[in-house]
Structure 1
Amino acid sequence: MWEPDGAEGHVGKVGVLLEDGTVPGPVYIDIGSGSYVPSFTDWWYYDGVHRRPLADRMRAVCACGWQCETTYPIDRKRVPRREPYLYDTSAPEKDWEDHTRRINAAAVPLPEDVARLISRIRERLDDIEDTDPLTALRIVGALDAVVESDGPYVTRAHTDEEIATALGSTEKALAARLRRYDNTRY
């Protein structure tokens, strides 16, 4: 999984396609320990072993539903048998990074003075948290109080879609945030 920098909720990963171009469902692996059978969607499980589907192409996908049109072949001869996660998936990751850059570009920019203040607060928290974690927690609590008092007011005039776009967020991630801001909204 790839975690975004600023595009909240836009978590990316490698998705796969079968030879016929379809997207396979999850792989279920019976580990023989009861009625629970776990499922997996990591790309390396689609290896054709034990009647699993065999994926021959990979692409970037995002939790928001975006799927990259560009696909890349999976060279099964180069996939390390015991450590398949070491296989080079940098091309799909770059595609996903381009996707999150577009999301961030569409977001409302922070005023420069506010961005500098936030950066200074983060730096100061980094300095304090190792030596005085309770003071760091007090600072975070003060910031939370600002969010709790101002958040409900600034969200009321806009739709969830408008707010998600403005924040560079998915609507799912936004819903979690807005529940913090305004209990009457969700």
Structure 2
Amino acid sequence: MSERETWTTEEFGASHEGAVGVLLADGTVPGPVFFPMNSGGGGPSVSQWSVYDGHFAYVPRAVALRAVCSCGWTGTEHRLDWDEIGEQELAEAGASTADVCLQDWDEHTVEVEKSAISLPDTVTGLLTRLEEEIEKLAKSSPLAAVRAARRLEVTAVRVGYWPAHDARQDATTEQAAAALGLNEDGARKLMARFGRWSPYF
């Protein structure tokens, strides 16, 4: 795995892990850049967008940045103006462009949330109120808030058991993934966790 900054949401996790992607002049996506250690041994493999500045022979120069997601989605290309960047560090000169990529990915996750199966207003309202009440409780009694969060965790495991089993009978993994806004691996593991079966069988 190469090193780079990534983004996730609490609900969708690794199924929609975002990052700033790089495009080269020929339209291709560069591979990770390997930085050898001075001793001649191993070193880090990096794919963080800001390293692609062309300052070294083995480091290509980015012509555009775009948001990318582990689900395969890619955002709009945002060109880098190297005449304006000049000798500035790309990490600084391209920061605003990278921020736009993050905004693009945020919009993507909003669309993912919209495409997931909708919940009744009564349920979303209760969940929101419960979160607010626990946050309020935390101000006066942090330990009570922790206990409340633990009770919520126990309740989620209990009430999710039979729905997970019923959903396993009624829907394919592909259908479950689409409904939950996850990839198939994420959906399979989530269903297995609530249904208490092995995700590998």
TM over 0.5: yes
Q: Offset of 1:82 from its aligned partner?
A: 7.6
1:66 alignment counterpart:
73
Q: Offset of 1:114 from its aligned partner?
A: 0.9
Aligned residues: 185
**174, 181, 185: which one aligns with 2:187:** 174
> Is 1:55 equivalent to 2:68 in the alignment?
no
Name the TM-score, length of structure 1 as normaliser.
0.83
**6, 17, 36: which one aligns with 1:11:** 17
Percentage of identical aligned residues: 33
Q: Offset of 1:175 from its aligned partner?
A: 4.2
The 3 A distance-change label for structure 1 pair 16 and 124 is same
Higher RCO (CA < 8 A, seq sep 6+): 1
- CA distance, structure 1, for counterparts of residue 68 and residue 133 of structure 2: 36
Q: Secondary structure at the match of 1:16?
A: strand
Name the TM-score, length of structure 2 as normaliser.
0.78
Runs ≥4 in structure 1, deviation > 6 angstroms?
none
- CA distance, structure 2, for counterparts of residue 82 and residue 23 of structure 1: 17
2:122 alignment counterpart:
113
**Structure 1 vs Structure 2 CA RMSD:** 2.6
The 3 A distance-change label for structure 1 pair 75 and 130 is farther
**Which blocks of at least 5 consecutive residues in structure 2 are unaligned?**
1-5
Q: Secondary structure at the match of 1:61?
A: strand
More deviation, 87-96/77-86: 77-86
Q: Secondary structure at the match of 1:91?
A: helix
Q: Secondary structure at the match of 2:97?
A: coil
- CA distance, structure 2, for counterparts of residue 174 and residue 180 of structure 1: 10
Q: Offset of 1:100 from its aligned partner?
A: 1.7
More deviation, 151-160/9-18: 151-160
